[in-house]
Structure 1
Amino acid sequence: MNDDHVDDSLLIAKAFGYPEATASTMVGLDEHAGMWRVTDAQGEHDLRVEWPTSPITERPQVRRQVVELYKAACAKLGVPARDEHQPSGGHEHGGHGHGEHPHGHGGEHPHGHGGANPHAHGGANPHAAEPESDGPKPFSRVIRESSWSDHSDSEGANFMEDIMRGVATKQDYIDLVAQHFFMYEALEEAAQQLSADPAHAALHPAALVRLGTLEVDLEHLLGANWRDEIRPVPASAEYAARIREVAAEGWLAGIVAHHYTRYLGDLSGGQIIAKRVARQHGFDGAGIEFYNFEALGDLKAFKETYRDGLDSLGASLSADEQQRMIEEVRVAYAFNTAVFVDLAKQKAAA
């Protein structure tokens, strides 16, 4: 939503509360409404817009509700709606809800929500291999659509939701950064296999590497002895172990599954997290350096290049290998949610 449909969010903001809005970013949702952060001449505002038909109970319903809001906004403002937003009779395609989920976690859903069981693979999406009328779907799109069901809300989502809404404590954010360190320590060890393979090196350029930025942030947040202050929650330790297991096997598609899940989220919803945290806690540089990808250049262009790389990878895999990689993406999403759940439990026990 925040990558490919910025203008739609602005129309919704203008139609449902802030007619002079100059910017609008979707920052959250629940079963009854979507939430946007809107900017106009008076400053920033929180906007909550009820879904046309609520409550929603499944992830694919989100896109339909956003489309209906967009169409209602167009009607209210006298703007013609695009044909691409006509609802389809079957499953949903691309667009809203992918790559831009406000939690900023999970590939193109940004690291958000799988089942709490990090080992629950779930069944294959019956639409994953369904061809479009003009040919098979690109593999990058198959991955997105096949993991939709892994992004339903969970109890752990509240931890990230509080960070997004600016009501979490600074300690909550520090705890999240600490978990990132353990995840990326394992992931960037594994990603060296991608860098060493000419067919996949473009997926992991040097400017994407995050471990050094996490060290900068943790030293700023906790001091020079930060390594003595951090511990992985159980889910983070299991997550890192799984990444190392995949790397030890030399399974490049599995490494890409975890790589995609983390970095595409950092480049999408993660950018929203950085702005929220910077504003709440006064960070500028150190503290949120993890989310600074200036050296990567145009983020949208890189994400397009990345998706092209996924498509090329998919073309080199058999149907069984594609499905195995999709299942590993779902495992990665589940681990992400499990980490949020553990952080929420840790906070409650403190």
Structure 2
Amino acid sequence: MTIFTDDVIAGVTGHMNGDHPEDNLLIARAFGSPAAHSSRMVGVTGEAGVWLVADADGEHELEVAWPGGAISERPEIRREVVALYKTACERLGVPAREEHAPASAPQGGGHPHGGHPHGGHPHGGHPHGGPRHAGEIEETGEKPFSVTLREGSWSDHSDSEGATFMEDIMRGIGSRQDYIDLVAQHYFMYEALEEAAMQLAADPATAAFHPAGIVRMPALEADLAALIGADWRERIAPVPATADYAARIREIAAEGWIAGIVAHHYTRYLGDLSGGQMIAKRVARQHGLSAEGIAFYDFAGLGAPTDFKNAYRAALDAFGATLDESERQRMLDEVRTAYGFNTAVFVDLGKAKAAKAAAA
């Protein structure tokens, strides 16, 4: 079975659940659960998509094979999800949206099929956008900045050779210590990021990015205390990539480069807000963790996730409008840098795990 990394799985599910909940329901009703009243995408394999469906019999998983057969590349996921959606529409007699209509149909203002795939984001899978599709153009004819960031960084939402650490966690074969090591790295990342984010919170022009409910450090501290014990601070350390990641964030903060802070804020918070929900459920079930062991992924203080993501995207669009083209490109480059750090952290965690196993 082909297994996609957590980055890709979280990207697909985060995007589908945040931006296309109605598509999930159509697919569930057309492919095995005609009486479904809710459906969330919870997994992606090389052979199928997986949905958690609720109907009169309760909740159950529904695995739907990809129409085109087994896949192994990230861009193929969108193709197959779109194919499932179109087939579901045909079976249920529901008109497909214009952008997914047959090639002979008018395309209107829908996004191009080569632009925004239905998946693939390091940890949040297009949670950074709202209901609109990537590639949508505002009435003014100018592409929203949030869409520019999403499309412009797509090629960086990639799997890194050897980055299997998160795959193991998502497949349910990672150990409890693997999860603890991941939480520890989050602590060092967010320690730097939340220090930097104070600059956003202090300015009315950027305060919308960093409301009180988004703060993660108290939750991370509670998780580490529950997972490790009262002496957790003495027992954790950053892997080299995490140390570099935190150093880069602090460098930007010291420079006072607000767009750079927003770039890192965007890639981390919204990703963990969306894709992290699947991580929390899987590790809690596998390792019998309580709420404190997965508190990091509890964003209840933000209210409805979709509403917050829509507001965040609107804030990104407004912020982007204040930047000149050079600064917009510089911010996009920093978003891509953040994605690179994220993958490097997974690789380093894998290396550290292998080294411990060899030493034992």
Corresponding residue number in structure 1 for 2:49: 34
Corresponding residue number in structure 2 for 1:3: 18
What's the CA shift string for 1:10-43, capped at 9, x where partnerless?
Answer: 3223333444544433234355543434445264
Quickly say closer, same or farther: Cα 1:30–1:215, change in 2 above 3 A.
same
Corresponding residue number in structure 2 for 1:63: 78
Higher relative contact order (CA 8 A, sep 6+): 1
Q: What amino acid sits opposite 2:87 in the alignment?
A: A
User: Contact 2:50–2:61 at 8 Å: present in 1 too?
Assistant: no
Structure 2 counterparts to residues 1-350 of structure 1, below 5 A: 1-30=16-45, 33-40=48-55, 41=57, 43-45=59-61, 47-52=63-68, 55=71, 57=73, 59=75, 61-86=76-101, 90=112, 92=114, 96-97=118-119, 104-105=123-124, 108=127, 135-155=141-161, 157-349=163-355, 350=357
Q: What amino acid sits opposite 1:26 in the alignment?
A: M
SS in 2 for 1:199: coil
What is the TM-score of this pair, normalised by structure 2? 0.82
Measure the CA separation in 2 of the matches of 1:291 and 1:282: 16
Measure the CA separation in 1 of the matches of 2:220 and 2:211: 17
Moved more, 314-323 or 156-165: 156-165
What's the CA shift string for 1:130-172, capped at 9, x where partnerless?
Answer: 9678511110111001111111333355322332333322111
User: Contact 1:219–1:226 at 8 Å: present in 2 too?
Assistant: yes
Deviation (angstroms), 1:305 = 1.2
What is the TM-score of this pair, normalised by structure 1? 0.84
Deviation (angstroms), 1:234 = 1.1
User: Contact 2:123–2:276 at 8 Å: present in 1 too?
Assistant: yes
Corresponding residue number in structure 2 for 1:119: none
SS in 2 for 1:47: strand
Measure the CA separation in 2 of the matches of 1:154 and 1:21: 37
Could you list the runs of 5+ residues in structure 1 that have no partner in the other structure?
A: 111-127
What's the CA shift string for 1:116-143, capped at 9, x where partnerless?
Answer: xxxxxxxxxxxx9996785111101110
Deviation (angstroms), 1:70 = 0.5
What's the CA shift string for 1:94-115, capped at 9, x where partnerless?
Answer: 58327xx5x63477379xxxxx
Moved more, 320-329 or 338-347: 338-347
Quickly say closer, same or farther: Cα 1:227–1:46, change in 2 above 3 A.
farther
Measure the CA separation in 2 of the matches of 1:134 and 1:63: 28
User: Contact 1:97–1:109 at 8 Å: present in 2 too?
Assistant: no
User: Contact 1:156–1:338 at 8 Å: present in 2 too?
Assistant: no
Q: What amino acid sits opposite 1:96 in the alignment?
A: H
User: Contact 2:119–2:125 at 8 Å: present in 1 too?
Assistant: no
Measure the CA separation in 2 of the matches of 1:160 and 1:12: 27
